[in-house]
Structure 1
Amino acid sequence: MSSSANHSVSLPFPTSLLPAKRRLRRDLRCSVGDGAAFGAMVGMGETYLPAFVLAVGLGELTAGLIGSVPLFIGGVLQIVSPWAIRKLGSHKAWVVLCSIMQALMFLPLIMAAMTGTLSTAAVLTIASLYWASGLAAGPAWNTWIGTLVPATIRPRFFAARTRISQACVFAGFMSAGLLLQWASDNDVLLTAYAVLFGVAAFCRLISALMLAGQSEPIPIPPLMTRQPLRRIFADVCKGPGGQLLMFLVAVQAAVQLSGPYFTPFMFNNLKLSYMEFMILIAAAFLFRIFSLPAWGQLASRVGAHRLLWIGAVGIVPVSFGWVISQNFYWLLAIQAYSGAAWAAYELAFFLLFFESIPEEKRTGMLTVYNLINVGAWVSGSLFGGLILYTMQTSFTSYLLIFGLSALGRVLALGLLARVPKIEVESQEIGMRTIAVRPNGANLDAPVLPSMPDQIPDSVTAQAS
């Protein structure tokens, strides 16, 4: 182990003294535990933050913007992570530190739930720091886990880890929805939110403990290159990857024109209960998960490029479905369809985008991808918020942004037509669900070592 490992988070006993096989089994168990605890935090905590904003009386626009503006601020702040990793001399130490910071962001939310007061500035600051710590940990975790899990077991291991983590996300938001429904019926809603945020914080601390329990064979890869951020931006914008990224920006801007405002629309306009809200989210989430294996098999037969077309066309009518009717069972069907369509789109995009980038540059590119992706999120949400504000958040204004969102997705297909066909080898990729959204357009992060040619001691490019 490199001497740089002295900067890593200390453990009750040094994992380097364990026999190799025993240490590997411990590392894998801890990694699965981290994924499970993280998933539970996402399901119980982050998923219901917009609903909590409504519960404390901050209004529909704040509830919508809380799911997008902090993401962008967090995406900007994550740029400091390569510098911090070099200062700490360890990817592991940075990931654990970010995980603890993310857990601590629930504490002011617990206080707000207990007192019943929270300002718009405060909740935006809290959410921004939550996302900054979460997004900053992602690329570093990808580099670290790639040195930890042997290449021979990665497909099987990451597939199992993804399923367990997603199951915990599902269990988290289902149990939270049931608790909030009971609390709403018994007039103890804010108390229930305090409990949920407390459990979410505890889960993230358990996740940090599981991360700290893993070893770090290569704290800083000796051949890791440092690239200026502007150079990585230039690289990612060239060739097929750049054209794909332009398409992503257009789609995300169109989707987020309406995406952040589904929660206030459901609660304030449709007057849905927490139970109904939970069921609609569950439909999209379950169909998203269960359709992924089928989409992977289809990708192996027809190619990821054609699958991207299927997904891109498939997500076009989703938001317009909410304009046609607001009948609950109709919306349930729309949600199920949305989950399946988004699964195809996201799987194909990740395969094409990261396969089109050289293996040694993928981790550095993930930082840039996060920034560009959240930039598109916030641009669309601000435009949608402007329409709602101008029309005084009327029922008609919501239907208008739902319709415009569908139109924007149609127009984005023109950019997809310009993307050259890219041949990829893999048909699956591990996913980390880091945010669940009511419209099915969840925020997922790829697990890069689950893709081919991710070799533990490879050269890793980092933004600086």
Structure 2
Amino acid sequence: MSSPPASIADSAPPRDDAPTDPADEPPRRSTVLRRDLRLIAADGGAYSLMVGIGETYFPAFVLALGAGEIAAGLVASLPMLAGGFVQLAAPWGVRRIGSHRLWVALTVAIQAASFLPMIAMALLGRGPVAIVFLAASVYWAAGLAAGAAWNTWMSRLVPTLLRTTFFAHRTRIMQAATLIGLLAGGWALQAASRPWGPAAMFAVLFSVAMLARLVSSMLLTRHSESDAELDTHQDVSLGELWRRARHGPDGRLLVYMLAVQTTIQIAGPFFTPYLLNQLHFSYLAYSVLIAAAFVAKSATLPALGRFARRRGVRRLLWLGGWGIVPLSALWLVSGDFWYLLAVQLLAGAMWGAYELGNFLMLFETIREEERTSVLAAFNLANAVALVGGSLIGGAMLHFIGEGRTAYMVLFAASFVGRLLTLPLLRRVPDRPFVPVPIVVRADAMRPSAGSLSRPVLSSLPRGAAAEESEPKTRYPIS
């Protein structure tokens, strides 16, 4: 891993028997900061390895158990609703325990333990699919509960001047780890499909994912923490957020985002069963298609950030909003691997533009002490829309049937739904602000979009909302 920014001094801590001198404090703080930055980066790599080799393959695991295509699609969406609700208790949990570090480390360990039932089922080669749904619900509940507190904690640990550079560096490590996990998982399942069958190999994949998250929990316990700033976070009630959304300019943006999420999820969760059961793609081909969209999204984010700075965030949102409309319709044209690979590359770029435009407009003008509450509300609303769309898609497959024709109807319905969201996009107001730096991370891998991304709020500069009128040059993505 590359060294932390050169602006952080590298010096040994003073001797224990040396007299206390204020001049000795900066080197000591610098040493602690260097250690924290290394640990934060390593934690990000371990987390992303878990996502790439673990969560990505939940739907494929359900298919391997013979549970059916509708169940395989819904396992990628329904459990997120549990996470959306449980994460609202994160501020209470932090206050109850009295430590961001202990709360985050504990919930991360619980997330790691959520793999145990699936490992047991994979070794047995059978088991009730309800256990997979329950385990996935614990996975998302613990993960989102950790994420809310983690963002607040990191905003205390990482100095404002280093945030964008450091978190961009950390994101590159996470992208590499996710890609390694994703492709290694696809290759391993493909290699094991003949000698033993893929079910046993899922146990290996989930074990690696669990161990990676346990390493992450261990690393988190070694981070430093400032108890003096534990209560600086300001809770914003759901009622207050709803009032702001109804009467403020962000309300139109939120309505548009939720409408898009609902229409996307009509087809999105069911790309996995379509690829594996209907097109009979290999696990390796499946992982390559997901990786293509993920790589395209990651590679285009810097250019999209520069586009937002030069042309405006609203134009970036328009580019992504229009660009994602035809993507599901393109799946109607052909089931050829190379054709779908090209579609995935386009999808990754368009989803990158859409997500970055949304995050910049939604989180930039929010006060720092309110960002955790707003992110929690955003996660909950997003989960509700995601589950609603997937239930519509699942109902359509149930009544039409699980044949290839039914999937064509699903893709066409998603395309029509996306098209109908464009009038809502036109209602999103244009606001004169200069984009501030923001870094996003992949919380899940999806065939339809490459990844399910969320903003790293601790990467935002302190007080971004108050600085939007300052005549400074800012770079959205470094």
The answer to whether the superposition gives a TM-score over 0.5 is yes
Q: Does 1:103 align with 2:129?
A: no
State the partner residue of 2:28. 19
Tell which structure's C-alpha radius of gyration is larger: 2
Q: Does 1:200 align with 2:246?
A: no
Query: How far apart in 1 are the matches of 2:191 and 2:228?
Result: 47
Query: How far apart in 1 are the matches of 2:146 and 2:353?
Result: 26
Q: Does 1:352 align with 2:361?
A: yes
Contact 1:89–1:220 (CA under 8 A) maintained in structure 2: no
Identify the match of residue 154 of structure 1 among 150, 160, 163: 163
Q: Which amino acid aligns with 1:423?
A: P
> Post-superposition shift, 1:78?
1.8
Alignment of 1:27-426 (within 5 A): 27-218=36-227, 220-426=229-435
> Post-superposition shift, 1:279?
1.3
SS of residue in 2 equivalent to 1:87 = helix
Contact 2:52–2:178 (CA under 8 A) maintained in structure 1: yes
Contact 2:53–2:182 (CA under 8 A) maintained in structure 1: yes
Per-residue displacement from partner, 1:334-353 (whole Å, max 9, x unpaired)? 00100010011111110000
Contact 1:240–1:419 (CA under 8 A) maintained in structure 2: yes
Per-residue displacement from partner, 1:80-104 (whole Å, max 9, x unpaired)? 2121111011222111111000000
> Post-superposition shift, 1:409?
1.0
> Post-superposition shift, 1:75?
0.8
> Post-superposition shift, 1:19?
2.0
Q: 1:333 to 1:224 in 2, by over 3 A?
A: closer
SS of residue in 2 equivalent to 1:344 = helix
Q: Please, which moves more after superposition, 232-241 or 193-202?
A: 232-241
Query: How far apart in 2 are the matches of 1:237 and 1:205?
Result: 42
Q: Please, which moves more after superposition, 190-199 or 113-122?
A: 113-122
Q: Please, which moves more after superposition, 236-245 or 282-291?
A: 236-245
Contact 1:241–1:356 (CA under 8 A) maintained in structure 2: no
Q: Which amino acid aligns with 2:385?
A: A
Runs of 5+ unmatched residues, structure 1: 1-15, 456-464
Counting aligned pairs with the same residue, the percent is 45
> Post-superposition shift, 1:128?
0.7
> Post-superposition shift, 1:360?
2.9
Q: Which amino acid aligns with 1:278?
A: S
Q: Which amino acid aligns with 2:434?
A: E
Per-residue displacement from partner, 1:316-362 (whole Å, max 9, x unpaired)? 11111101111111111100100010011111110000024333321
Query: How far apart in 2 are the matches of 1:235 and 1:427?
Result: 22
SS of residue in 1 equivalent to 2:331 = helix
Query: How far apart in 1 are the matches of 2:281 and 2:194?
Result: 13
Contact 2:436–2:460 (CA under 8 A) maintained in structure 1: no
> Post-superposition shift, 1:442?
2.2
Query: How far apart in 1 are the matches of 2:231 and 2:93?
Result: 17
Query: How far apart in 2 are the matches of 1:226 and 1:266?
Result: 43
Q: Which amino acid aligns with 1:440?
A: A
> Post-superposition shift, 1:219?
6.1
Q: Please, which moves more after superposition, 115-124 or 383-392?
A: 115-124
State the partner residue of 1:4. none
> Post-superposition shift, 1:427?
5.2
Contact 2:233–2:370 (CA under 8 A) maintained in structure 1: no
Count of paired positions: 440
Contact 2:163–2:461 (CA under 8 A) maintained in structure 1: no
Ranked by relative contact order (alpha carbons within 8 Å, sequence separation 6 or more), the top structure is 1
Query: How far apart in 2 are the matches of 1:226 and 1:276?
Result: 45
- Per the normalisation by structure 1, the TM-score is 0.92
Q: 1:168 to 1:47 in 2, by over 3 A?
A: same
SS of residue in 2 equivalent to 1:187 = coil
Kindly report the root-mean-square deviation, in angstroms, between the aligned alpha carbons of the 2 structures.
1.7
Q: 1:412 to 1:196 in 2, by over 3 A?
A: same
